[in-house]
Amino acid sequence: MTTAPLDDFLLRHAPGPRVAIAPVVLSARAALGRATAALRPTADETLEGPWTWRGEGADVRYGFYRILELLESAAVDVAGTLREAGARVGMSRAPSGDLAALATAARWDLHGRLATLDEDVLDRDPGGGEWTVRRTLAHTVSGQRGYGWYTAWWLEQRITDPSTLPERDPDDVGAGLPEEEREGDGSLAEIRERLDATLDGASEVFGGLGPSELALHARYSGIPVSIGFRIGRWSSHLREHTVQVDKTLAAVGWQPREVDRLIGLIHSAYGRLESLAFVVSTELLEEPSADGRGAAAILDDALTTAEGHALEMGATRT
């Protein structure tokens, strides 16, 4: 799995430094995807079936929770390793990266809702003039792309005196944005990839900003805010529309199975884990702690083991 090319508008208008999404994060996401594909066909009726762990008899339901435990334990270890290694070598994530990390945790909560949906659910009409799931996702992607573009423009203005703040951003800033509905085109997998590309791209571009840059003045919906506010808004926007997706799914009669709920919990746990490594330099992620393991190795081991458990559990169906 690789990142999409960075948005040209962001590259032209937002200064560096860039903080690339580390390869270990991309490989962890791929492992999560393979694990999900193995877990999703599990029927609720088989959750009490046998699954062997550490040579002893357990059940399939515990297998799901064991994956959850793995990810949560890895999050504790990654956090500790980054603190220790970072203090020793004098490295840390930039403040803007901490804000972007909140958004990636929110992104994986949303993915947890979407990972078990069938394609036909996207276009079911909830009635009452409410948006379909597809339309909500189109808005979510478009909104994230717009947050990136307009934040880049405001950042480029370098406004330190609020009395000089323009009343609004110019109309031509968003002239090249895709039509909102087009962001929902294609399969569910394609929409999810588009969401990842927009969030990852903006996070790379803005991931190295310090306190003085985050304090620069800007606007949001005409309201005076800071650059930091605009980046912090990414997370709440994702969560806002995750709630909307939940409401739409209920309105169209989609009822999650227990397995769907368990997969959602796993995605949320993964999001908390990824948020620790998101827009953190590969150098810091690979810096070993006292026990000789770096955060990257911990993340990789956890997802490799989680994928292995998922494949074992899938094998119990055959």
User: What pLDDT does 174 receive?
Assistant: 85
Please, where are the H alpha helices in 158-226? 188-206, 211-214
Taking the C-alpha atoms of residue 216 and residue 155, their distance in angstroms, rounded to an integer, is 7
Looking at the predicted structure, is the pLDDT value of residue 52 above 60?
A: yes
DSSP annotation of 218 reads E
User: What pLDDT does 317 receive?
Assistant: 64
3 assigned to some structural domain:
no
SS3 129: coil
190 assigned to some structural domain:
yes
**Residues spanned by the domain of 66:** 8-315
pLDDT digit string, tens, across residues 177-225: 999 999 999 999 999 999 999 999 999 999 999 999 999 999 999 999 9
196 assigned to some structural domain:
yes
The number of domains in the chain is 1
**CATH code (residue 221):** 1.20.120.450
User: What pLDDT does 229 receive?
Assistant: 98
User: What pLDDT does 188 receive?
Assistant: 98
40 assigned to some structural domain:
yes
pLDDT band for position 9 (cuts 50, 70, 90)? confident
Taking the C-alpha atoms of residue 100 and residue 227, their distance in angstroms, rounded to an integer, is 12
1 assigned to some structural domain:
no
pLDDT digit string, tens, across residues 220-245: 999 999 999 999 999 999 999 999 99
pLDDT digit string, tens, across residues 29-39: 999 999 999 99
140 assigned to some structural domain:
yes
Q: How many CB atoms lie within 10 A of CB 236?
A: 12
Looking at the predicted structure, is the pLDDT value of residue 314 above 90?
A: no
Mean pLDDT of 154-178: 90
pLDDT digit string, tens, across residues 261-313: 999 999 999 999 999 999 999 999 999 988 889 999 999 999 999 999 999 99
pLDDT digit string, tens, across residues 62-104: 999 999 999 999 999 999 999 999 999 999 999 999 999 999 9
281 assigned to some structural domain:
yes
User: What pLDDT does 195 receive?
Assistant: 97
Output the furthest CA–CA distance in the chain (Å, rounded): 69
Select from 80, 108, 130, 128 the least CA-distant residue to 288: 80
Cis peptide before 126 (omega within 30 of 0): no
261 assigned to some structural domain:
yes
